[in-house]
Structure 1
Amino acid sequence: MLAIIFVVTLLLFASPLVIGFLGMLAPAFAWLPALNMHQPSLLGWQQLFAWPDLIDSIGLTLLSGLGSTLLALWWCYLILRRYWLSPKWHKIERLLAPLLAFPHIAFVLGFGLMFSSTGWLARIWHHAGFVDTLYPNLIHDHFGLGLLFALAIKETPFLLLMSISILKQLDIKRLYQVSISLGYNHQQTWHMVILPLWLPKLRLAIFAVAGYGLAVVDVALIIGPTHPSTLSMLIWQWFTDGDLTQLPRAAAGALLLFGIVIITFGLLRLAEWWRLSYSTSWQYRGAIQHPARRIPSPIAAFFSRGLLLLPLVMLPILVIWSFALRWRFPDLLPSRYSVRFWQQQLEPLQQLISNSIFLALISSLCALIMVILCLEYRQKYQRGIPTTLIAIPMVAPQLSLLFGMQTAISFIPGQYFWLWVSWSHWLYVFPYIYLTLDGPWRSYDQRLDQTARSLGLNGWQTWWRVKFPQLKPALWLAFAVGCSVSLAQYLPTQMLGAGRVSTLTTEAVTLASGQDRRISAIYGLLQGLLPLVFFTIAMMLAQRKTSPAQTRISR
């Protein structure tokens, strides 16, 4: 039975990856029988390279995607170097869960309300006596710096979380003590000893951050550059164009974006190899004492703790804007408050929240059950899903993969939009739940199962009464992670739902493009609070004591 379910899960997971690639490849070479394009050609590529701003769009894509990845990695390294062996690290570690639960869309909506030309920071700038024309506007700026900084700030907690298990495996305390005894100072120890061991193990997380930054659409729609826009934005505009003859150009752009992401991964791997090859030269020259170049404490505190707290600052900004009735510039606070906008949106919000919760629960529950069965199969037969296959949805550009899936689904008769959207959410939820539970499953002591079986319990009783209580906190955490991933999905819902399946995320992005800021704040606030609710419930259920009926072992 386990083998059958494992094969079914593998097919459900691998088939959309193959379908997505083929569905992107065929229209990229103008083979679309539904549009009377029966002969492959280079029409799409000709239209793509004839676009006047293509080079600028590729440059903006590399600047925002690659720049945000390197900046997030640098911030992550600074935070770890400053706080890992200090008592303050436990406070930072407790912040990571709510920071990761806070979706990108909610953060970016608050980011826009704070850093726009009439945002909160601009109001403080005006009251401080600075010239308004010198204010650095980061929203829709021509160089995409606002997009770069927003992505870097939001992805830093993810890299920190991925680094925790890595540094625990490396036993940093012992490495640090040995390095100090050999004459290396604190900075040299991290730079020459810990960094070469930490960076290769973080490679998959870095690729995931880079892949998201290079192909992001929802965040770019809200704060990204517009003239020209990033390549992913161009592809999205071509894909949503009413002229279906433009689909070959959109498919060619999606394939080009996929190639850019692969090349970027190669460049990152090459940079890692060069950096680590250079770092190992210390073994031949010994400890060399250089003057300590310490970052001033206020600046170090801002980069290490202020940037981590910045996403949480967006919540009160969204709350204030959602109740603001009159807020003139440059007043620091609204002059009048009202609940009128909440009352106006109450009816549509009920449907959107129910849709979001339904998709999150169904995709996360299905993914959790299948992950448990796959891990049990691996534990029993020592064969599991390859990590490389698991990581493809995390690192591959969503736009390229979903474009192919949408093209392939268009050949299937019938309107099963909820099924396709649920399937796409499951595809992106499954890897996160799998990686969340992979560590606890590997560290579980199988001797407990052997003892339970020797006392007369069958396989199901052993799992339910012995193994489940041990893994219950990890299971609830994985379920909450899956729900938060599903709640944040914009492109899968829009592309495979064909606009017929609406969630808080899709409406929040749509309203952010020009509607009233107060309504956008309401949707962003609720979109940010829902994952926190799931994490809170998961933590409460994980801490509940196991019932006596569950722990009682039959004779």
Structure 2
Amino acid sequence: MIVPNTVFTRTIASTPTLLILLLVVPVLGGLLGLLLPAFGWLPALNSTEFNLLGFEHLLATPGIERMVLLSFTTSLISTLFAFLITILILASYFNSPWLHRIQRLLGPVLVIPHAAAAIAIGFLITPSGFISRVFSPWLSGWDNPPDWLLPNDPYGLSIILGLTLKELPFLLLIALGVLAQPEIGRTLKAQHKVALSLQYCPMTAFFKVILPTLYGYMRLPILAVLAYSSASVEIPLILGPNTPPTLAVAIMQWFHDPDLSLRIQASSGAILQIAITLLVLATWTLLERLTKKLLLGKLTNGQREVGGMFIKQFTNALTFMMLSMIGFALIAMLLWSFSGFWSFPDLLPQQLVSLHWQSALTQMQAPLWNTLKIALTTALLAIVLTLFVLEAEQQTTKNIAVISGFIIYLPLLVPSIAFLFGLVWVLEQINSQHSFINVVLAHLLFVLPYVFLSLATSYRRLDPRFSAVAASLGASPAKIFWQLKLPLLFAPILIACALGLAISFGQYLPTLLAGAGRLNTITTEAVTLANGASRRTSAVYALVQMLLPALFFLLAWLLPKLFFRASSEDIK
């Protein structure tokens, strides 16, 4: 019940509106700021008449068809691979302790920034990378690095590999999160047991009973993954081809070109990128319908066994191969960061040195401070906004959960490279030169959805009887919130904060665009170094990128234990 005329209740009541404004206005304003230059209206270049010259120049760009095709195919194929592997893992290890072991192994990959993951994969698949060293010369016979095109191959295979390995943990954790919900998980497991009792093999029982229901809960996250991967910049910039690159990378290069007239072409390209993303989403929807039409009859045909043993063995081999690749990539990056002379095909460096770490650490003080300052500010704002909105859900009769549940996905479904360029244009029009504030606002668009989704379940599961008892004893809503609910949510808040920090640490494009290149972070430096700098220095920066989120997740795990231990000792 709301207590009238208090600062706390008024603040809580207004926070949902603020959340909607913070997410909707920058995205819509960014899209508006994209449309005007795309159609020729750019007063800074004395262009105040609407025209289609930007699109004409865009379509006349050499290799534009290849850019579009790369963006479309890499996003669709990588998401399809990630989804299929996720389903195979779930089907093969459903109700098995191995599923949670795989989850613990893949979980840390989720918080690794995309740039760091791309750098690690690059160390693995280059001609002199760790894979060729492991098998040389005893199996391959190579005494010199092989002549292959990975990474930066013209077909986008490296991009597909990088996106798949990054998307897979996310989709797997989303699926496991659905199965962990008491009502859904209990129902699905009961149905699975019934199918087993009817002599269905475990694999067939999963595909016929669990998957049709589970997919409905995974559909929106899958669409978000498709939208992101179609306009991804970090992984294609590091692993993708350069002549031509993907469309998103080309747009970024046009936007930063000294020739300001390319801003119009970049805006037109961003419109085309939105069309590509919509086409990818439409293609996925069409594939859904075709799959449903083709396989619907097989759900009820009574067949108990559909190659279950073969699929399980294939999944075992595939899972082992993926985990091995991730492990080899991390080992290779660690070795390169300490390596001295390392000739091919030696598996290990001839000497290990700390010179690269010493040199990099002296140079990264300013980027590291900027990274921490931006991430801490963004995560704190996201936590406060999320907590206040979730409290407003319980104090008001408005259907805030439905509104916030839709709005919260908006920055994830709209291609970031599209609305961020427009947002930069809007910031230029209002002459906003506060780089730090601009970057924090841009990061908040991507951090807030993940923090909200992380905290919402825990907050909504709080037993309302605690609040009812406290209110019956005369406690105000403010006191119940600060002294009852927040201590009960101490651990989930820390996990959500660590997740928000990890998302902020990995933001490349928002930092580069909103900061106008004035604020260097660990991620922007790592991406720059990955394109032409020393492998050893790139490895150091990529490892620091990984260590930052790992450190804060470790703190999020330790602090509740220390907090509750201290509280129990005080009670004694």
Report the equivalent of 1:319.
334
The 3-state SS of whatever aligns with 2:136 is: helix
Q: 1:484 to 1:312 in 2, by over 3 A?
A: farther
**Correspondence list, 1:400-439, <5 A:** 400-439=418-457
Report the equivalent of 1:190.
206
Map Cα deviations across residues 219-258 of structure 1 (whole Å, 9 max, x no partner).
1111111222111111112111111111111111101101
In structure 1, what is the Cα distance between the partners aligned to 2:211 and 2:113? 29
Q: 1:284 to 1:523 in 2, by over 3 A?
A: closer
Map Cα deviations across residues 23-51 of structure 1 (whole Å, 9 max, x no partner).
11111101101110000000000011112
Q: 1:347 aligns with which of 340, 357, 362?
A: 362
**Correspondence list, 1:102-501, <5 A:** 102-130=112-140, 132=142, 137-168=149-180, 169-171=184-186, 172-282=188-298, 284-287=300-303, 289-290=305-306, 292=308, 294-295=310-311, 297=313, 299-308=314-323, 310-381=325-396, 382-384=398-400, 385-501=403-519
Q: Is the 8 A contact 1:417 1:501 kept in 2?
A: yes
In structure 2, what is the Cα distance between the partners aligned to 1:51 and 1:258? 18
Report the AA paired with residue 519 of structure 1: T
The CA deviation at 1:20 is: 0.7
Report the equivalent of 1:51.
61
Report the equivalent of 2:4.
none
Q: Please state if 1:24 is matched with 2:42.
A: no
Map Cα deviations across residues 328-382 of structure 1 (whole Å, 9 max, x no partner).
1222111122222222222221211111111110000001000100111112214
Map Cα deviations across residues 257-280 of structure 1 (whole Å, 9 max, x no partner).
011111211221222233234443
Q: 1:130 to 1:305 in 2, by over 3 A?
A: closer
Q: Please state if 1:98 is matched with 2:108.
A: yes
Report the AA paired with residue 350 of structure 2: S
Report the AA paired with residue 275 of structure 2: G
In structure 2, what is the Cα distance between the partners aligned to 1:52 and 1:328? 39
The CA deviation at 1:501 is: 0.3
The 3-state SS of whatever aligns with 1:280 is: helix
In structure 2, what is the Cα distance between the partners aligned to 1:42 and 1:551? 71
Report the equivalent of 2:88.
78
The CA deviation at 1:544 is: 3.3
Q: Is the 8 A contact 2:511 2:519 kept in 1?
A: yes
Report the AA paired with residue 330 of structure 1: P
Q: 1:60 aligns with which of 70, 87, 109?
A: 70
Q: Please state if 1:35 is matched with 2:45.
A: yes
Q: 1:283 to 1:192 in 2, by over 3 A?
A: closer
Q: Is the 8 A contact 1:183 1:287 kept in 2?
A: no
Q: Is the 8 A contact 2:498 2:552 kept in 1?
A: yes
Quote the RMSD (CA, aligned, Å): 2.1
Report the AA paired with residue 483 of structure 2: R
Q: Is the 8 A contact 1:75 1:156 kept in 2?
A: yes
Q: Is the 8 A contact 2:92 2:312 kept in 1?
A: no
Report the equivalent of 1:87.
97
Aligned residues: 551
Q: Is the 8 A contact 2:41 2:50 kept in 1?
A: yes
The CA deviation at 1:183 is: 3.6
The 3-state SS of whatever aligns with 1:126 is: coil
The CA deviation at 1:115 is: 0.9
Report the equivalent of 1:544.
562
Q: Is the 8 A contact 1:394 1:428 kept in 2?
A: yes
The CA deviation at 1:86 is: 0.7
Report the AA paired with residue 156 of structure 1: L
In structure 1, what is the Cα distance between the partners aligned to 2:306 and 2:331? 45
Q: Is the 8 A contact 1:464 1:550 kept in 2?
A: no
Report the AA paired with residue 125 of structure 2: F
In structure 1, what is the Cα distance between the partners aligned to 2:309 and 2:105? 29
Q: 1:551 to 1:429 in 2, by over 3 A?
A: farther
Q: Is the 8 A contact 1:107 1:311 kept in 2?
A: no
Q: Is the 8 A contact 1:453 1:459 kept in 2?
A: yes
The CA deviation at 1:292 is: 4.7
Q: Is the 8 A contact 2:124 2:332 kept in 1?
A: yes
In structure 1, what is the Cα distance between the partners aligned to 2:431 and 2:460? 43
- Shifted more, 110-119 versus 134-143: the winner is 134-143
Q: Is the 8 A contact 2:195 2:205 kept in 1?
A: yes
Report the AA paired with residue 500 of structure 1: R
Q: Is the 8 A contact 2:151 2:239 kept in 1?
A: yes
Map Cα deviations across residues 308-342 of structure 1 (whole Å, 9 max, x no partner).
46434433322211111211122211112222222
In structure 2, what is the Cα distance between the partners aligned to 1:174 and 1:534? 38
Q: Is the 8 A contact 1:101 1:535 kept in 2?
A: no
Report the AA paired with residue 347 of structure 2: L
Report the AA paired with residue 345 of structure 2: P
The CA deviation at 1:148 is: 0.2
The CA deviation at 1:7 is: 2.0
In structure 1, what is the Cα distance between the partners aligned to 2:19 and 2:195? 47
Identical counterparts, % of pairs:
34
In structure 2, what is the Cα distance between the partners aligned to 1:505 and 1:138? 23
In structure 2, what is the Cα distance between the partners aligned to 1:81 and 1:137? 35
Q: Is the 8 A contact 2:127 2:146 kept in 1?
A: no
Q: Which runs of 5+ in 1 are unaligned?
A: none
Q: Please state if 1:522 is matched with 2:540.
A: yes
Q: 1:116 to 1:458 in 2, by over 3 A?
A: same
The CA deviation at 1:125 is: 3.4
The 3-state SS of whatever aligns with 1:294 is: helix
Report the AA paired with residue 191 of structure 2: L
In structure 2, what is the Cα distance between the partners aligned to 1:417 and 1:39? 30
TM-score by length of 2: 0.92
